[in-house]
Amino acid sequence: MAGGAYVALAICCGLSAAIVGRIKGSSFLLWFLIGISLPLLGTLAALLYRREQGVPKTRCPECGGGIAVHDQVCMRCGRDLEWAFGEPPELPAS
Ligand SMILES: [Zn+2]
């Protein structure tokens, strides 16, 4: 049955997303549900999830937006960021 094959595939995708999400310190159940709802896309999202989370963030002095410390231009207001040669201010952990 095609339906059964789809369910098996969805569960496989859910499990792969859940395992990736769990490895990255997120919720196994959350990523399992995402993986089942969005086969392949959910797994891809889990794979990409860490990149956002792992990048140290700081704040733009101009607009206050959160930006990655390696960015040299603010994505929100376009301001040139001048801490390329020094230590950017770290955001307090929240
Ligand atoms: Zn800005």
* pLDDT, tens digit (0-9, with 9 covering 90-100), for 32-69: 999 999 988 998 988 887 655 556 778 888 898 888 87
Q: 15-33: per-residue pLDDT in tens? A: 999 999 888 888 999 999 9
Distance from residue 83's CA to the centre of ligand 1 (Å): 14
Pairwise CA distance, residues 79 & 52, whole Å? 21
pLDDT band per the 50, 70, 90 thresholds, residue 83: low
- How many angstroms does the Cα of residue 92 sit away from the middle of ligand 1? 18
More confident residue, 48 or 88: 48
What is the rounded CA–CA span in Å between residue 30 and residue 35?
Answer: 9
Query: Ligand 1 centre from 60 Cα, in Å?
Result: 5
CA distance 51 to 24: 10
What is the structure's pLDDT at 89?
63
Residue indicated by tokens 């094959």: 5
Higher pLDDT among residues 63 and 3, named by residue: 63
